[in-house]
Structure 1
Amino acid sequence: MTNRDLIIFVTLSFMWSLSFVFYRVGVPEFGSLAFASLRVLFAGLVMLVFVLLKKKNRDGIKQHWKMLSLVGLFSAALPFVLFSFSAQSVNAGVLAVLNASVPMMSGFIARVFFKDRLSKKQALGLVIGVIGVIILMSESLFGGGEPGKGLVEGLLPMGYALLACVGYALGANITKNYLYEVSPVAITAGSLIIGSIIMLPVAFTEFPYGQAISIKAWVSVICIGVFSTAIALIFMNQLIKNIGPTRATSITLVIPIFAIILGYLLLGEALNIQAIIGSIVILIGTYLSLELSIKKMLKPKDKTQTNSI
């Protein structure tokens, strides 16, 4: 993993963590499904500009539209809808823990279906990272369930979230194994434009007609579509191509750390000892899963070596 990949990894973690703030502002006014569908639509419109400006992106979409359709379905349309359903009755702490299962699922899919292998260091790092997320969110996880809720009724929303994570893992592996020669911009544009088409009926049927929507809510849905979806997925697709789907999706282990920091700075949320300990454990797990080396990172680069993006 190059220093540039590491910078992309950290930047992407921050961009996706902002989603928690945007959701906090926009979902109460739009509703879960309307907000999720508008997120994809705005992201698709942004990527449409990239397609219109560059012929190479159009050619990439035309040649690989079938695989891009799968990526759009698994990495955008289905996960956003499933997480929207899940978020109606599952608290943010549990969702963060479930979302952290993506790299484990990605590694399993890569191993079983694409014959990729995880090193012992990577596997250990992923397990430690998940433990860190559980520590981070332990108060939300074990703070007590909602009275009067049946077992199936309580588990079904979590099942939606896990299916969304499977979608993310599948999309990442498809990108790595079948779209390696396609540019990250073309992959993102094709998948999000196709995802937008899939989500368009949802946007029309679920939009809160007749209800006044504040400027804050509109800014939040536009920002999550442009920055936390379109631009973020360009970075993610580049990262998948550079370091592989399992290591790239381990970003879900780091996102809760940024989310807690942003919550503390922007929303006035409490910062407790569990957050600090959990964050340290997550960083250790991520360091191992990405197979980073402090010595290599500090070592001066050979001027003849170059990084490609």
Structure 2
Amino acid sequence: MPSKANIVSTYALLVFIWATTPLAIVWSVSDLHLFWALVLRFFIALPLAIMLLLILKVKFPTDQISWHSYLAGSFSLMGSQIFTYIATSYLSSGIIALMFGLAPIMAGLIGYFGFKQRLSRLQWLGMVIAVAGLAIICFGGENQHINPIGIGLMLMSVFTYALSIFWVKKVNANIEPVAQATGSILVSTIAAICIVPFIWQYAPTHIPTAKSLLALIYTVVMASLIAMFCYFKLVQNIQATTLSLTTVMTPMIALLIGAVLNHEALSAMVFVGAFILLFGLFIYFYRDLKASRTLAQKIKSNS
């Protein structure tokens, strides 16, 4: 089992990657057509993922159930990211990260309406508070690169991402995480190839700026590959509620990174809305965090 320092550093790296990825996406489309930036991301990620699969000598299942699982997983990649990339025309990187903080709430709603999972009153309260915060952000940032169309696109992105998680779990294929990720990237790449004829007219006619290229490489290497390993390593070694807290931590860090590195000036109302949204997320997780803390104390007292 990895040491505590190893787990903490992995957790910190994952938070850092997830907080910086929205800005990398925004920068990658600064000198590339947004759909080409998305397509090239998967074209580059696929051979790297296959290489890692071969180096780690992980079996890649090709039966019908496995392909079903790869298809389901691709909705958290191409399915979700296509809305995110379009949203870059309407939202700042910090707000994009903030919207992804709603993933647990979206997953809760999908579980409630689609899979008959129960939600506590505290969770419903957390949802209402988070939505109120989102409304304040919409009205408080309408003149600051925060557009309702972008908010709608990101809600679709988060919904598709959360739905993909449920779909993969329902398929319940016995696949190694690295193989699952590679298969999902493969299906996403096939979808990207299907998009190419429709965007061929926007194909790059010059070498993109170093900033755009480096951002594209960052989304491939850090967001698509290294973050994947960090995530699945943490899934195996820490409690789910602790891992879920990354959705609360990353948006505020992303807002600060966007403000410092990309000069994304946000109004006081936007920050108030962000704080209320994150407070709603905290309320949503409160019962799970309390139960997790009680369990940790019991384990400590018995050891």
Question: Under a length normalisation based on structure 1, what TM-score does the superposition of the two structures give?
Answer: 0.73
CA distance in 2, matches of 1:144, 1:47: 35
Shift of residue 292, structure 1, vs aligned partner: 1.4
CA distance in 2, matches of 1:191, 1:303: 42
- Conserved? CA contact 1:260–1:275, under 8 Å: no
Label 1:210 to 1:49 Cα distance change in 2 as closer, same or farther (>3 A): same
Instruction: Quote the residue 2:91 is aligned against.
Output: 91
Shift of residue 29, structure 1, vs aligned partner: 0.7
Shift of residue 188, structure 1, vs aligned partner: 1.6
Instruction: Quote the residue 1:189 is aligned against.
Output: 182
- Conserved? CA contact 1:130–1:282, under 8 Å: yes
Q: RMSD of the alignment, in Å? A: 4.1
**Please, which of 254, 257, 262 is the counterpart of residue 262 of structure 1?**
257
| SS across alignment from 1:165 | helix
- Which segment is superposed worse, 210-219 or 266-275? 266-275
- Conserved? CA contact 1:136–1:279, under 8 Å: yes
Label 1:304 to 1:232 Cα distance change in 2 as closer, same or farther (>3 A): farther
**Structure 2: tracts of 5 or more residues without a match:** none
Shift of residue 279, structure 1, vs aligned partner: 4.8
1:302 aligns with 2:295: no
Instruction: Quote the residue 1:32 is aligned against.
Output: 34
CA distance in 1, matches of 2:77, 2:120: 29
Label 1:257 to 1:219 Cα distance change in 2 as closer, same or farther (>3 A): same
CA distance in 1, matches of 2:275, 2:97: 16
Instruction: Quote the residue 1:292 is aligned against.
Output: 289
Deviations 1:271-307 (A, max 9, x none): 76446544543443333333213955985953988xx
Note the 1:90-109 alignment, pairs <5 A.
90-92=90-92, 99-109=100-110
Label 1:199 to 1:303 Cα distance change in 2 as closer, same or farther (>3 A): farther
| SS across alignment from 1:182 | coil
CA distance in 1, matches of 2:117, 2:131: 21
Shift of residue 226, structure 1, vs aligned partner: 1.5
- Letter in structure 2 aligned against 1:125: G
- Conserved? CA contact 1:122–1:288, under 8 Å: yes
**Please, which of 60, 78, 82 is the counterpart of residue 58 of structure 1?**
60
- Letter in structure 2 aligned against 1:220: A
- Conserved? CA contact 2:19–2:254, under 8 Å: yes
**Please, which of 171, 175, 199 is the counterpart of residue 178 of structure 1?**
171
1:48 aligns with 2:53: no
- Conserved? CA contact 1:86–1:161, under 8 Å: yes
Shift of residue 259, structure 1, vs aligned partner: 1.5
How many residues in Structure 1 have an aligned counterpart in Structure 2?
Answer: 292
Deviations 1:223-277 (A, max 9, x none): 1112122332444566778767x99778555543121111233234447644654
| SS across alignment from 2:186 | helix
CA distance in 2, matches of 1:33, 1:191: 19
- Conserved? CA contact 2:25–2:85, under 8 Å: no
CA distance in 1, matches of 2:7, 2:281: 14
1:230 aligns with 2:232: no
**Identical-pair percentage:** 21
Question: Under a length normalisation based on structure 2, what TM-score does the superposition of the two structures give?
Answer: 0.74
